[in-house]
Amino acid sequence: MPPQPQQPTRLTHNRFVHPRPGLPGRWLARLVSSPRLLAARRAVLSRLPFMVLQSEVEQVVYLNWLVDATAAARYAPPGVRLWQRDGKTLFTVLTYAHRHFGPAAAGPLRRLYPSPLQSNWRFYVDQLPGGARAGRVVLFVKNTLDSAIYALGSRFFSDALPSHLAARFVHRREDRAIRTEIVPGAGSAPALRSTVRPAATRTLPASFAGCFDSWESAVAFLCLQDSAISHVEDAGRIAHAGIDLPIDLAAVQPLEAVIGECNLPMLRELGVPPGECAQPFCFLVPAVPFRVLWERLL
């Protein structure tokens, strides 16, 4: 009997489930996932200029692991090849606080917009569909927000950011450490718990030494990205969005994970041994301006 195709898990698909069970949550999930409404939105917005979005993001914590490339390939849309070295690929979780995330055209009025917390989970792309070299492109696989307005709004108005809503989301300083916790509740958000603190030196982990020459070159590769893609499940296509994130590499600060305070269930799906799950390569970008410049379907 031929092998059966592996079914997508809760982590490899991006269907939206509200974190609080009940009729309102189910109704909202159906609304933002309606193929007819999404198709109508694409038909309308494709004829209009893209509304550039802007924010000043702060306390950007990067957690990075080398994971099994074969396991990670399950997350890649058809035709997309992930960056890899010696059977491993890079997986990054970056979590941060927005400051007034909204349309750039709002000008000074953007200060009236809320400041949600966001956690973005991504791989790094080597090749796009059709064999084109990717350049500085990441693949968004999970995106979580603490705001229902932003999570549902990004679901409905964007194809490049398939967002989930956390039941509880913490990302804050506690003394010299930064604690992050994402609790999915009954919803589709991925779970995360981590605590990081300043590290004494800029030391590249031994596991990353086969991929990068130095701490600085690793940070540059992980930070300096120009665009992102995401699988659009209802349309069977790929969304591609341009981003502007001018990170000052000299300002990046080394971090270390606090022992016993890093838990990410998704890493088990990616074949990471338990001992390595708690030891990410991590660093902090204190603050950076952020813009979403354009979006289109490939």
How far is C-alpha 263 from the geometric centre of its chain's CA atoms? 17
- What percentage of the chain's residues is helix, strand, coil (to nearest 5)? 25, 40, 35
Q: How confident is the model at residue 3 (pLDDT cuts 50, 70, 90)?
A: very low
Give the pair of three-digit tokens for residue 234.
């209802």
Query: Residues with Cβ < 8 Å from 93, sequence gap 6 or more?
Result: 62, 63, 64, 119, 120, 121, 192, 264
- 291, 54 contact by CB (below 8 A): yes
Average pLDDT over residues 99-118: 95
User: pLDDT category, 204, cuts 50, 70, 90?
Assistant: very high
**The predicted structure's pLDDT at residue 129:** 84
The residue assigned the tokens 């509200």 is 18
Residue-wise pLDDT tens digits, 157-171: 999 988 999 999 999
CA angle 230, 232, 234 (to 5 degrees): 165
Q: What is the pLDDT of residues 146-159, one digit of tens each?
A: 999 999 999 889 99
Which segment of 31-35, 122-126, 180-184, 251-255 scores lowest on mean pLDDT? 31-35
91 and 64 Cβ atoms separated by less than 8 Å: yes
Q: For the chain, which domains are there?
A: 23-297 (2.40.400)
Task: Give the per-residue pLDDT at 76.
Answer: 93
Percent of the chain scored above 70 by pLDDT? 96
Question: CB 200: neighbour CB atoms within 10 A?
Answer: 7
| pLDDT value of position 21 | 80
- In whole angstroms, give the CA distance from residue 106 to residue 212: 41
Confidence label for 8 from pLDDT (cuts 50, 70 and 90): very low
Q: What is the pTM assigned to this prediction?
A: 0.92
pLDDT, tens digit, 9 for 90 and up, residues 59-108: 999 999 999 999 999 999 999 999 999 999 999 999 999 999 999 999 99
